[in-house]
Amino acid sequence: MKKLILLSFVLLTVFSCGDEVQFNSPAFQGDLEQQIWRANGFSASIDANGFLTITGTRNGETINLKVPSVVERTFTVGDVNTTEAQYDNGFGAFYSTNNNPEPNPDPANPVNPEYGQIIIDEIDIVSGTLTGTFSFGAFDASGLNSIAVTRGVFYRVPILTGTIPADPITCEDKEMETTIAATSYSVASQPEANGFINSDAFEAACNAYIAALNEQRSYCGDVDRAIQDQIDLLGTCTFPCFFANANSNVAQTEFANATLGTYIQLCAQYQFYLQEQIEYCGDEDGSIQTVIDGLNCSDTDGDGVPDVFEDFNGDGDLDNDDTDGDGTPNYQDNDDDGDGVPTVDEIQVDMDGNPADTDSDGDADYLDNDDDNDGLFTVFETGDTDSDGTLDYLDNDDDDDGILTIDENADPNADGDPADALDSDMDGVPDYLQA
């Protein structure tokens, strides 16, 4: 009731004494180019998105007032498309607050349109009517012709299409969504736990932020262009070159500290971020591609040992490294020491990326033909004699009798073959395998 009393006061003060205004029945009227324009038909509609249009018609002329929310508040027309006032004279002349007031607008320096307002003062849910005021200036498509509507009033205009949303989307809702999107964008602009800034996550967060800002503009307006300025600042959301450079530097550092166990992964990672650097920064002198071409992330024989770790003499020639002398270079040999146990089963890289060395003799098992240093070549030590869970070729006391295999004359002639092993009781089982 207070709102209606206030509205009556406003109407009595903005219209001249000669202008008759009726308050005992619904109405839609305003001052069009200094002439009273009264609608003889009026209604409001709400679409599926909750957008509201209030329409007044008179002898073929139409005024449409459009706002994005059915809420009691002031909406500024002339700065966003979703809040718009239109005038159609019925003879082909159409004016809109969304038309630019210049024939060839400069996007970088646009001329501000004639701002206006649509004010919803009261939403009567019981009767399904709307009351408020409006004023605006509008241009035709050419931007050369304009009209002005001032001192406009819509009073108890009925909503004939759609229903008033129980929980309408508001400017405040969109501001909250923008805040959340801005936070996500900020997080995506920082390195993740692995030390890298994810380009896909960054671009997705940036685009989501822009979408939220556009939604905010639609529901809140943007008279000072602060929202549009932020959208322009975000640009196309392309991953920044300086982020790509930072990623490449982190990858290079990690690759420089790679071990046998981490080399392939870190080499591939370095390649990936170098390619990303080219994508987002370019490679005018080809220096980045040269680094990529110089990387060897391969494990040709799939034995778990990167090719670069099989160049034992360090001369850069992988073909002259053949530990077991079988004619197949190590990088192509899946049993580098020829002990019958595939290299991939002898690597057993520890947490620091170092290969297993069971007997601690300085030779990794995959290069050691006597892994447990018991005098017998690994190739002759099959099975688990004492069933202790440790295969004989890794067990320096094969029969678990407390006497080391090397001390039980397992190989009297020291050729690594236990064919001549001592069998004290002549029962066919050599001492080193008999507890």
Span 378-393, average pLDDT: 75
Q: Is the pLDDT of residue 277 over 80?
A: yes
Q: What is the model's pLDDT at position 13?
A: 38
User: Which pTM does this prediction carry?
Assistant: 0.75
**Of 378, 396, 384, whose CA–CA distance to 342 is shortest?**
378
% pLDDT > 90, the chain: 56
CB 169 within 8 A of CB 219: yes
- Taking only the tens place, the pLDDT of each residue in 184-234 is 999 999 999 999 999 999 999 999 999 999 999 999 999 999 999 999 999
Q: What is the model's pLDDT at position 111?
A: 60
Q: How many CB atoms lie within 10 A of CB 392?
A: 23
Span 407-415, average pLDDT: 77
Measured torsion, CA atoms of residues 269, 270, 272, 278, in degrees rounded to the nearest 10: 160
State the burial class of residue 230 (Cβ atoms within 10 Å of its Cβ: 0-12, 13-18, 19+).
middle
Antiparallel, parallel or unpaired: β 84-88 and 94-96: antiparallel
pLDDT band at 299 (very low <50, low <70, confident <90, very high): confident
Span 97-107, average pLDDT: 77
Span 115-135, average pLDDT: 96
Q: What is the model's pLDDT at position 84?
A: 96
Residues sharing a CB contact under 8 Å with residue 346, sequence separation 6 or more, in sequence order: 337, 339, 355, 356, 364, 365, 366, 371
**Of 128, 101, 130, 102, whose CA–CA distance to 116 is shortest?**
101
Q: What is the model's pLDDT at position 217?
A: 96
The angle that helices 171-188 and 199-220 make with each other, rounded to 10 degrees, is 160
